Chain A
Amino acid sequence: MTRVGRVALVTLALVTLFAFALPLVWTIAPEATDPAHRLADPTSVHPLGTDELGRDVLSRLARGGQATLVVGVAAMLTALLLGVLVGGAAGFYGGWTDGVLMRLTDAMLAIPGFFLVLVVVTVMGSDLFTLVLVIGGLSWMPVARVAYGETLRWKAADFVLAAESLGAAPLRILARHVLPQAVPVLVVSATLGVAYAILTESAISYLGLGVQPPTPSWGNMLQRAQQYLFTAPVLAFYPGVAIVIVVLAFNFAGDGLRDLLDPRSRNRA
């Protein structure tokens, strides 16, 4: 694997550790307010200072990371499932199934998804579950295209024909022989998918329609921070940098995994 890819994977491990292990030792509650020390500068009690309600920024950053990572990964898994179902079925069954499903994929790619997010939130309100479903439900199309291409590529392979001639049921062939071949490329799109999901989650939460306060997420921390740009610009710094680092790491990890798992792509520029 490339050096950049390795650095990215280590970064992701460290961020995960920060988000999930730090709250175990750094036990200041992210919701605990301290009106006497609002917008405080860094001290030994609050190494990153406090926000507009006197809440500990370090602890909120770690907890916010949890929400962001969990929603990102869960949304990616949703998109992966939908994409594999749609792309796999279209490629494997062909004919009108292919026509309908892949035109649906094209149509979903042709419309600005963020406005559909707003439609869903208008109707269903916002909780974590809805958030995961809506992000996954609007980002499965690239996965579907990958799964479609791979299914088409492998369904004519000799070992698939062999399984067919041995009388294996179509669904079994798809699940046991065709889709496993697609795992390397799917891992790559899944990794890139987490980056997309995290950017989307943070944008929705920034707009106040995603993760709801008092639960912190990097997106909703930035929403509050913008109101204190003049007095405490540093509040806008940490969550933003955290998002950039994580998204960058997922993108580089995806590129690195592509080089590792899909040698054919190495020759491309």
Chain B
Amino acid sequence: MVVGEEVGKFLALRLASGALVVLFTSALTFFFVNLAPGGPSSIMNMTATPEQREALVRAMGLDRPVAERYVTWLGGVVRGDLGTSLTSDQPVAALIGERLPNTLTLAGAALGLSCLVGIPMGILQALRRNTWLDHLLSLLSAIGLAVPVFWLGIVLILVFAVSLHVLPSAGLTSVSDGSLGDRLAHLVLPTLALATTILPTVVRFMRSSLLEVLGAEYMRTAQAKGLAARVVLGRHGLPNALIPVLSAVGALVPRLLGGTVVTEAVFGWPGMGRLALDAANGRDYPLVTGIAVVVAAIAVATTVVVDLAYTRLDPRVRLS
């Protein structure tokens, strides 16, 4: 079971490096928040009333050295305690837990849409290389990469909600309606907007990956054997072309998650991005730090899962 052992080793290594990235994020954000000019310690010296100051000291343990506070905070994080929000007095973990499913729904839908639309588009472009269709779709991808998510969101609201009245413009559900259909209707526009953050890149990866495979020797061999074009593409072309695209999609997850902040702001979507935005506006340090760490953990976990899928699909990766 040499291969099994190698996969186990790869898994362990990948998990360890993922954990390190999350640890790095936690240290980066915690020390930045606590040491940068303008952080909570400087509020202490400013115009805060004695009561406010005391509340802050109690909430954040500001009377102790930063390194010691980091260790204490990290110990709490490991046990699921991310501290207490300054603006709402609730546990940060509870606030995040409330919003997390909404963000995951939105990001998952956008990821799914990007793959469902982007992969066929890329395949089509590669098969029709250098035709007017290829050029048109390439231009669309270029425009997609240049359109700000929030502006696309505004345009979508303008067209589908304000002019055509066919889709709702904001929120998770209507006030009086919580049915599945209503929820899905509310999901459409934010998903479309968020998907443009990664869709053009998925298309480009798929196109160039398939073009590379189409030029490979084994494809010529398969053709020379007299296999039908459909079989050559389906059995030999696509499986090989899709593997690198999968890894590329994994690498796009951080960008997708980053896009949720703006998308949720445009569409009033009650997720983590909105929560982080409110935290930034309210100078809620524990909340914004907690969110950054949780989001980093989600991004890293997704990448690890994608990498594992990658090793299952492509035996060559295990050996390198």
| Contact B299–A123 (Cβ < 8 Å) | no
CB neighbours of B206 from chain A (8 A): none
A114 to B274, CA, bound (A): 12
- Given contacts A203-B148, A236-B155, is CB(A113)–CB(B254) below 8 Å? yes
CB neighbours of B195 from chain A (8 A): none
Residue A202 interfacial (CB < 8 Å): yes
Residue A222 interfacial (CB < 8 Å): yes
Residue B75 interfacial (CB < 8 Å): no
| Contact B258–A113 (Cβ < 8 Å) | yes
| Contact A110–B303 (Cβ < 8 Å) | yes
- The contact size tier of chain B is 35 or more
Residue ID in chain A nearest B208 by CB atoms:
A269
A107 to B28, CA, bound (A): 11
A209 to B296, CA, bound (A): 21
Residue ID in chain B nearest A236 by CB atoms:
B154
Interface residues of A in 193-223 (CB under 8 A from B): 195, 199, 202-203, 206-209, 219, 222
Q: Which of A219, A225, A248, A269 has the most CB of B within 10 A?
A: A269
Residue B158 interfacial (CB < 8 Å): yes
Residue ID in chain A nearest B42 by CB atoms:
A123
Q: Which of A36-44, A73-81, A168-176, A226-234 contacts B (4 or more CB under 8 A)?
A: A226-234
Residue ID in chain B nearest A125 by CB atoms:
B38
Residue B60 interfacial (CB < 8 Å): no
Q: How many residues of A contact B (CB 8 A)?
A: 46
- Type the 1/0 row for B49-75, where 1 means its CB is closer than 8 Å to any CB of A: 000000000000000000000000000
Q: Which of A18-26, A177-185, A239-247 contacts B (4 or more CB under 8 A)?
A: A239-247
In the complex, which of the residues A122, A199, A269 contacts B279, with contact meaning CB atoms closer than 8 Å?
A122
Interface residues of B in 294-320 (CB under 8 A from A): 295-296, 299-300, 303
CB neighbours of B265 from chain A (8 A): 206-207
A244 to B148, CA, bound (A): 7
CB neighbours of A247 from chain B (8 A): 145-146, 148
| Contact A111–B296 (Cβ < 8 Å) | yes
CB neighbours of B24 from chain A (8 A): 104, 107
A118 to B299, CA, bound (A): 17
A219 to B150, CA, bound (A): 9
| Contact A240–B277 (Cβ < 8 Å) | no
Taking the nearest CB of chain B, how far is it from the CB of A10, in angstroms? 17
- Type the 1/0 row for B132-149, where 1 means its CB is closer than 8 Å to any CB of A: 000000000011011111
| Contact B276–A115 (Cβ < 8 Å) | yes
A114 to B194, CA, bound (A): 14
Q: Which of B2-10, B229-237, B283-291 contacts A (4 or more CB under 8 A)?
A: B283-291
Residue A124 interfacial (CB < 8 Å): yes
| Contact A124–B38 (Cβ < 8 Å) | yes
Residue A146 interfacial (CB < 8 Å): no
Residue B162 interfacial (CB < 8 Å): yes
- Given contacts A111-B25, A240-B154, is CB(A207)–CB(B142) below 8 Å? no
Residue B292 interfacial (CB < 8 Å): yes
Residue B266 interfacial (CB < 8 Å): yes
Residue ID in chain B nearest A111 by CB atoms:
B296
- Type the 1/0 row for B146-165, where 1 means its CB is closer than 8 Å to any CB of A: 11111100110110001000
Taking the nearest CB of chain A, how far is it from the CB of B218, in angstroms? 19
CB neighbours of B158 from chain A (8 A): 229, 233, 236
CB neighbours of B148 from chain A (8 A): 199, 202-203, 206, 219, 222, 240, 243-244, 247
| Contact B254–A226 (Cβ < 8 Å) | no
Residue A128 interfacial (CB < 8 Å): no
A114 to B37, CA, bound (A): 20
- Type the 1/0 row for B19-57, where 1 means its CB is closer than 8 Å to any CB of A: 011001100110011001111000000000000000000
| Contact A111–B143 (Cβ < 8 Å) | no
CB neighbours of B142 from chain A (8 A): 248, 251-252
Residue A32 interfacial (CB < 8 Å): no
